Amino acid sequence: MNQDIKRMQPHNFDDGIAPPPRYLLVGVIGIFLLLVLGAVGGYILIQSQFSMSVLLQLAVIALPLVVLITIGAAIAFRKQLPRRFALWLTLGWVVLGIIGMIGFTLVFRNSLEPGQRETVKHYLPFMAIFAPPLPPVNSSLPTPEAVQSDITADDLLSSSFDLAPATTEPTTEPTIAIVVPPTDEPAPTVELTPSPVMQSLVTAVVTSAASATVPPTATSEPTVQNVPTDVPQPTQAAVSPVTVNQSVSQPQAPLTALLTGITPVKQGWNNCGPANITMALSYYGWTQSQDYALSYLKPDREDKNVNPWELVNFVNEQSQIRALYRVGGDMQLIKRLVSSGLPVLIETGYMFEGSDWLGHYQTVVGYDDTKQLFFVYDSYLGTGENGNGMPKTYEDFDNFWENFNRTFIVLYKPDEEGLVRSILGDRADVTKANELAAQTAQQEATANPQNAFAWFNLGSSLTRLGKYQQAAAAFDKARQVGLHWRMTLYQFTPFEAYFNVGRYEEIMSLTNANLLNGGQYVEETYYWQGKVYAAENDTAKASEAFRKALARNRNYTAAQDALNALS
């Protein structure tokens, strides 16, 4: 009977291995929950366009540690765990890793914004191979359609061609009103009286043939008359012409000059404009970071372009310093400004190592005629040896500066108004500055008809002078020669010229090319699309385009005005 009872009792399958420790089980569950929370939190951060820098730093460190710790613990407690548990855990991590990498790669390629992808590539360089492809190096904008016109590109190079502005008032560029977010803190101000550290802002050394030392030009400030303060408007054509006193003598630039007292700023992603304007303002005691300028200039951090007039407006509206910009500068003018103690920004083309051509801002801090060098603070590359600036040969400086019609921005104190006007000379008058820029471009196109930048600059200057038919012919020629595909991500005068002569198909061709190559992050792309749709009485598409422009930049008043006008 007892034997039968024993046979009826359940078998004990205990193989002698103790169950895993309870704290190990709790730890595994905790790690799993942390991973789930991390994945959910990461997704939320990505969707909110929050900077992923902190998240990625933690992930790059934490994930390998979690894997190694769990595998190590499984090996250490192998006698208390089911047989081959460590092996299965390792294989499980491998499978999860493969699935995670596939999912992360899909998100990286298809869901992340360009700035977020750059952050990923910074911490995980190998991810660059999974990035969406860019156009081939030196790819060009689409060529224009054949058009019947009484004006040809050759006509623009004729000595009889009149560069005087058109009698009709030019169409102004789209504008942006910088909206100050509500805050209880007062807006930052700049102390105009230099601190002891700023007493020596300019070091200018003049070397004559006899090696004589001459006092720096910048130390003698001219007496300022009651001259109206020049606050540039969003477009050069909108600035009221000023009367230029040609009898005012131009200050002579010494052979060398170097600005001191500028705080270097390392730019964030695609942030050379805010970074450089912050650097230039620091010369006058400005202490705000580039993020302060970024919040006003780029509501969308992915915005690929900040226009010169936007930077000028920021300075004039947010500080006690003044700023203006002009096109058609020359190297002698930059030397006179720098040697007079005035910081200057230039908008220039550039080709960083391993990169294709792109637009960039730089801050000029000095020059040396004896070595034929300019010195610039580059928010991407640095400040050069001993912080005296990155050297650029005069040839390279001018060649790349030409890419943006030799645009420059000068900052000055209000009581330096007269000094700035005297240095600018004819260029103090905006219309005259555009005429001089057109003259230079005309000469360079004549010297080299295959110089696409010269033709583009000629078209830009003619657009600002209201000569749209001639400008369209110049842009046609530039595109036939070959313009880099990024050109219309930064400069929008072709859209204005083609719009004013009714060549809407060219605008759509260029905006469509933009949208394939990053132009979806440039509000002007959608604005000009909307202008075309509105001109064609397609109200629905026009409204959609203007709303997309505003989604990219909520301060873009031209798009808002155009949207309002539809009703």
DSSP labels, 353-410? TT---EEEEEEEEEEETTTTEEEEEBTTTB--GGGS-EEEEHHHHHHHHGGGTT-EEE
User: Based on the domain organization, do 324 and 411 belong to the same domain?
Assistant: yes
pLDDT of residue 170: 52
pLDDT of residue 121: 79
CA 231 → CA 170, 306, 412, distances in Å?
A: 20, 18, 12
Around Cβ 149, how many Cβ atoms within 10 Å?
14
- Residue 552 resides in a domain: no
User: Based on the domain organization, do 263 and 409 belong to the same domain?
Assistant: yes
Q: What is the mean pLDDT of residues 502-521?
A: 93
pLDDT of residue 7: 54
- Residue 382 resides in a domain: yes
Q: Looking up tokens 């103690």, which residue turns up?
A: 341
Q: Residue 371 and residue 390: Cα distance in Å, rounded? A: 13
Domain enclosing residue 412, as ranges: 197-209+228-426
Are the CB atoms for 349 and 403 separated by under 8 Å? yes
Q: What is the mean pLDDT of residues 43-58?
A: 59
Are the CB atoms for 551 and 559 separated by under 8 Å? no
CATH code of 315's domain: 3.90.70.10
User: Based on the domain organization, do 395 and 314 belong to the same domain?
Assistant: yes
User: Based on the domain organization, do 112 and 201 belong to the same domain?
Assistant: no
Around Cβ 252, how many Cβ atoms within 10 Å?
11
Read off the pLDDT band of 250 (50, 70, 90). Answer: low
User: Based on the domain organization, do 203 and 290 belong to the same domain?
Assistant: yes
- Residue 253 resides in a domain: yes
- Residue 148 resides in a domain: no
User: Based on the domain organization, do 274 and 358 belong to the same domain?
Assistant: yes
- Tokens matching residue 332: 């002698």
Domain boundary among 408, 426, 444: 426
CA dihedral 474, 475, 479, 481 (to 10 degrees): 20
Domain boundary among 130, 159, 181: 130
Tell me if residue 147 falls in helix, strand or coil. Answer: coil
Find the length of the chain. Answer: 567
User: Based on the domain organization, do 126 and 241 belong to the same domain?
Assistant: no
Q: Residue 385 and residue 408: Cα distance in Å, rounded? A: 25
pLDDT of residue 48: 54
User: Based on the domain organization, do 203 and 96 belong to the same domain?
Assistant: no
Q: What is the mean pLDDT of residues 119-137?
A: 79
Average pLDDT for the chain: 80
- Residue 221 resides in a domain: no
- Residue 444 resides in a domain: no
> Which long-range contacts link 129-133 to residues 24+ away (Cβ below 8 Å)?
130/105
Domain boundary among 130, 153, 169: 130
Number of H helices, E strands in the chain: 21, 8
- Residue 175 resides in a domain: no
User: Based on the domain organization, do 55 and 203 belong to the same domain?
Assistant: no
- Residue 78 resides in a domain: yes
Q: What is the mean pLDDT of residues 380-398?
A: 94
- Tokens matching residue 158: 């004729």
Read off the pLDDT band of 23 (50, 70, 90). Answer: low
- Tokens matching residue 143: 């060529």
Read off the pLDDT band of 2 (50, 70, 90). Answer: low
* Measured distance between the N- and C-terminal CA atoms of the chain, rounded to whole angstroms: 100
Is the CA virtual torsion 483, 485, 487, 493 positive or negative? positive
pLDDT in tens, 406-449: 999 999 999 999 999 999 999 999 999 999 999 999 999 999 99
User: Based on the domain organization, do 239 and 95 belong to the same domain?
Assistant: no
Q: Residue 341 and residue 411: Cα distance in Å, rounded? A: 10
Spacing of C-alpha 360 from chain mean position: 7
User: Based on the domain organization, do 403 and 284 belong to the same domain?
Assistant: yes
- Tokens matching residue 480: 């036939």
| C-alpha closest to that of 161 among 169, 174, 152 | 152
Q: What is the mean pLDDT of residues 221-226?
A: 31
User: What is the number of domains present in the chain?
Assistant: 2
User: Based on the domain organization, do 251 and 398 belong to the same domain?
Assistant: yes
